[in-house]
Amino acid sequence: MDLDALRFANFAMLDTAVSDWELLVRHLAELEKQAEEGLHKAARTADWTGMNAQVTKEFVGKSAGEFKDAHTQANTIHKILGDTRDELRQHKKDLEAAISRGQKKNLTVTSTGGGGFTVTMNIHPDRAAKGTSVPEHSESDVTALRDEVQGILKKASESDDSASKVLIAIADQAKTGFSDANYKDRDSAAEAVQAAEDLAKIAAKNPKDLTPAEFDKINDGLAKYKDDPLFAERFATQLGPQKTLELWQGINDPAVNPNVGRERLDKLDDLQRNLGLTLATATQSDSAGMTSWKGNMIKLGDQPIGREGGGPMGFQVMSNLMRTGDYDDQFLKSYGTKLMETERKLTGNGEHANLAWQHMGMDPWLNRIGDDSGDDPLTGYLKGLSNSPDAATDFFNEEYVSKDDSPFERDTDGNGKNGKVPLSNFQYLFEEREWPQETNLKGDDDITGRNNLALALEAATTGHPAGELPTADTPAHNEGQTKLFESIVSSVADDNGRLTGHNYMTDSIGQITSEYLPDINRAMTDDYDEETNKLFPVAGSSATLNHRDVNALLLTVGQNAEGYAAVEVANKEYMANLMDYHLNPDLPADKVYSKDLEFTVNQVAMGSGEVSGTLAIGRQEAVAGEAEAADKKYEQSVAQWKNAISGGIGTGIGVGTSFIATPVGGAVAGGLAGTASSMVLEALFQDAEGKAKDDAGAVMGEHWERGNDQNSGYTEKAVENAAKAHHRDDLMDDSIDEKARTAAQEGFRAAGVNTAHMSPHLKTDI
């Protein structure tokens, strides 16, 4: 800071800037409120269909989020400017006070140009006017004044420089739109940036020289700042992609740094999480440094890391850091494209196993979260995709191998002759890939890779991270998602061993299926002119399925307790919501399926009944083995869903339905409790009590009979609730609830007939 610049500073323009930003913050706060409570809230409750449901609704939600980010960024900038202005003003006062005190000792501070200054006598005693008393000073007074002024200028420089650094960093975070970086003051933002630079210097050391104490400092710092956007961007760019990979590889390799591996073995999982979360946050930045970082990280993917060229590939290291956090979608897409290109090179386009990514005895254990070693980079990458739905959708639909280069053959036209076929990434990974052995375990115990595949598919088809349920803000299904779901259904129908042979994947497939119940019900109507689309409304894109494949999918999912529970609970809620939807007298004319409400209700009941019936047959298949243990697991899985869906409207019924069950008996809309659908689910959960017997055949028969009775009972209750909510006593007088019960029984029994004829190869004889 130049002496004269601070000494004669005029803060008028800075005062104006602070005032302008304060006014802007107030305006943006109001706009944020209007965007959320007006625009976004209205969009969530609007009856969106077609392209509006796919594009406009999501756009409105993102636009509302931009207002929030704009307010956040403006508020942060205002605080930084205000803090800096106040500090500089105080530094000016301190400087003026120091100069004034110096003058009392006959000392003056003079600028020498170029930012320098000197302390000299104000009036030399020899040149003082006759009779004038000149204050005395010592050499120490000169030194003290010089040091005080220098200290003030240094603090002023730090205030100015840190403000500049932080403001530029915030501006660089987003090329378009606004940053969500939120700081209470200038010091906290500057502290985050400085902490990133300090930790990056430590992390950039040769891994063999890293001490346990330095390990702790890195781990603690990342744990504190992992969600801080300025910290994350600065840490990642200062460290660089090469050093990032060398850090994680080195501390996990006993040949590189045995001390850290031995003394901090119980902390390696924490560092993996914290480092992964930090890098995920960093990738959301659009700064030039992070753009370069992302590109260079991908270039290092097929290059050896550490051990003087003999270490694991960059993909093998980095993918393990992707298991936690929400990475930038475009980075994930580009990374996945290069990753699968490398997979093709190492497998001859998928013709043979990938031995390069199989765990060998002396390989460092690159994954510290879970059971697998981390040698197969697809395992970690797929876990990362499970947190990033849009990137996952694009990845699975991307072509893995073209027809001309494909080693895979299929009978595509039914003439008994095989021909080469192209495969998507989904088809290759789900149907053909020989997954490398990643652990010291054998066979079915080595499950993480395929399980992460199922999680990534869940995100890719549903539009929300795996393990979560859809909410009012979850976008309607788009064409990419429905295309992938169609591929899943077709693949399972073609060979359900792809799921039953890896049963642990079925909980995710069950969740996927539960969110496509409208599409599934459409397929089961066998209505080729598609008039039943009004019976089962869909917002957004609808999957094109056939009845036989849907039957096979439900039968297969029903053989897993978690998958069964996800679909069965969702099916009951979906059915109750549909009844409520169609019995609503205010339903627009263009939404009405049939003026004959009795026919409409019967069709809904039959569809729901067939879904439950087919699931019940799948349950029979599972119970045909160890009856009692399997049976109890089903009841427990259904009961567990009570906690999973409590408090949410529409959760479990799937994206694509544009209605919410009407409150019953004066209940307040806004939660699940008290709605038409909630009362049906409550009955379902109360019935979820294990009633297994020793004899498998008896168990299967009992469940079929009990399932038919209970399913029709739930349907009858749903119609009663919907009619009550809409004050339709006329329908009750006409016994519409009894007619719905009969139709539900018919649909349930039809499941048995359809399965016998559509999927006889999937049934077990006992």
Q: Judge if 140 and 236 occupy the same domain.
A: no
Is residue 316 included in any domain, yes or no?
yes
Backbone angles phi, psi at 105, to 5 degrees: -110, 20
Please tell me the predicted confidence (pLDDT) of residue 17.
75
Is residue 252 included in any domain, yes or no?
yes
Percent of the chain at pLDDT exceeding 90: 36
SS3 labels along 191-249: HHHHHHHHHHHHHCCCHHHCCHHHHHHHHHHHHHHCCCHHHHHHHHHHHHHHHHHHHHH
> What is the overall mean pLDDT for the chain?
80
Percent of the chain at pLDDT exceeding 70: 73
Please tell me the predicted confidence (pLDDT) of residue 720.
74
Please tell me the predicted confidence (pLDDT) of residue 655.
37
Indicate if the pLDDT at residue 766 is higher than 60: no
Q: Judge if 488 and 507 occupy the same domain.
A: yes
Name the more confident of 522 and 635: 522
Quick: pLDDT tens for 223-240: 999 999 889 999 999 999
Indicate if the pLDDT at residue 765 is higher than 70: no
C-alpha–C-alpha distance, residues 62 and 55, integer Å: 11
Structure-block tokens of residue 532: 């039943």
The mean-pLDDT minimum among 11-15, 46-50, 357-361, 382-386 falls in 46-50
Indicate if the pLDDT at residue 616 is higher than 90: no
Indicate if the pLDDT at residue 323 is higher than 80: yes
Structure-block tokens of residue 193: 């940036």
Structural domain boundaries enclosing 339? 190-385
Q: Judge if 360 and 406 occupy the same domain.
A: no
How many domains does one find in the chain?
3
Please tell me the predicted confidence (pLDDT) of residue 647.
44
* CA trace torsion 401, 406, 412, 414 (10° rounding): -160
The mean-pLDDT minimum among 22-31, 274-283, 369-378 falls in 22-31
Quick: pLDDT tens for 345-381: 999 999 999 999 998 877 889 999 988 999 999 999 9
Q: Which residues are paired to 118 by β-bridges?
A: 110
Name the more confident of 139 and 133: 139
Q: Which of 472, 343, 315 is nearest to 400 (CA)?
A: 343
C-alpha–C-alpha distance, residues 650 and 469, integer Å: 9
Is residue 437 included in any domain, yes or no?
no
Q: Which of 29, 165, 152 is nearest to 89 (CA)?
A: 152
Q: How confident is the model at residue 314 (pLDDT cuts 50, 70, 90)?
A: very high
Q: How confident is the model at residue 726 (pLDDT cuts 50, 70, 90)?
A: confident
Q: How confident is the model at residue 628 (pLDDT cuts 50, 70, 90)?
A: low
Q: Which of 190, 184, 185 is nearest to 230 (CA)?
A: 190
Indicate if the pLDDT at residue 51 is higher than 90: no
Backbone angles phi, psi at 364, to 5 degrees: -65, 145
Contacts of 307 (CB under 8 A, 6+ apart): 253, 255, 256
C-alpha–C-alpha distance, residues 336 and 342, integer Å: 10
Q: Judge if 653 and 738 occupy the same domain.
A: yes
Q: How confident is the model at residue 319 (pLDDT cuts 50, 70, 90)?
A: very high
Q: Judge if 207 and 316 occupy the same domain.
A: yes
Q: Judge if 376 and 398 occupy the same domain.
A: no
Q: What is the mean pLDDT of residues 420-447?
A: 83
The gap from C-alpha 631 to its chain's centroid, in whole angstroms, comes to 33
Q: What is the mean pLDDT of residues 109-138?
A: 70
pTM (two decimals): 0.78
C-alpha–C-alpha distance, residues 749 and 536, integer Å: 21
Q: Judge if 619 and 672 occupy the same domain.
A: yes
Quick: pLDDT tens for 538-590: 888 899 999 999 999 999 999 898 998 899 888 888 888 888 888 888 888 88
Q: What is the mean pLDDT of residues 651-671?
A: 40
Is residue 315 included in any domain, yes or no?
yes
Is residue 591 included in any domain, yes or no?
yes
For the chain, percent helix, then strand, then coil, each to nearest 5? 65, 5, 30
Structure-block tokens of residue 745: 């029984």
DSSP 590: G
Contacts of 458 (CB under 8 A, 6+ apart): 386, 466, 467, 508, 509, 511, 512
Is residue 715 included in any domain, yes or no?
yes
Indicate if the pLDDT at residue 695 is higher than 70: no
Indicate if the pLDDT at residue 301 is higher than 80: yes
Q: What is the mean pLDDT of residues 459-485?
A: 90
Q: Judge if 378 and 403 occupy the same domain.
A: no
C-alpha–C-alpha distance, residues 547 and 300, integer Å: 47
In three-state secondary structure terms, 43 is: helix
Indicate if the pLDDT at residue 669 is higher than 50: no
Please tell me the predicted confidence (pLDDT) of residue 388.
96
Indicate if the pLDDT at residue 666 is higher than 50: no
Please tell me the predicted confidence (pLDDT) of residue 650.
45
Quick: pLDDT tens for 209-222: 999 999 999 999 99
Q: Judge if 198 and 150 occupy the same domain.
A: no
The mean-pLDDT minimum among 209-223, 644-658, 707-721 falls in 644-658
Is residue 354 included in any domain, yes or no?
yes
Q: Which of 208-212, 601-605, 625-629, 688-692 has the highest mean pLDDT?
A: 208-212
Q: Which of 90-99, 184-193, 551-560 has the highest mean pLDDT?
A: 551-560
Q: Judge if 112 and 11 occupy the same domain.
A: yes
Please tell me the predicted confidence (pLDDT) of residue 610.
85
Q: What is the mean pLDDT of residues 518-522?
A: 92
Q: Which of 487, 516, 750 is nearest to 617 (CA)?
A: 750
Please tell me the predicted confidence (pLDDT) of residue 13.
80
Quick: pLDDT tens for 487-496: 999 999 999 9
Please tell me the predicted confidence (pLDDT) of residue 656.
39
Read off the amino acid at residue 616.
Answer: A
User: How far lies 181's CA from each of 69, 164, 167, 171, 387, in Å?
Assistant: 8, 16, 11, 10, 21
Is residue 438 included in any domain, yes or no?
no
H-run or E-run covering 110: strand 107-113
In three-state secondary structure terms, 363 is: coil
Indicate if the pLDDT at residue 387 is higher than 90: yes
Quick: pLDDT tens for 242-257: 999 999 999 999 889 9
We report the CATH number of the domain holding residue 68 as 1.20.1260
The mean-pLDDT minimum among 47-61, 84-98, 403-417 falls in 47-61
Q: Judge if 594 and 626 occupy the same domain.
A: yes
Indicate if the pLDDT at residue 275 is higher than 90: yes
Q: Judge if 363 and 505 occupy the same domain.
A: no
Please tell me the predicted confidence (pLDDT) of residue 690.
46
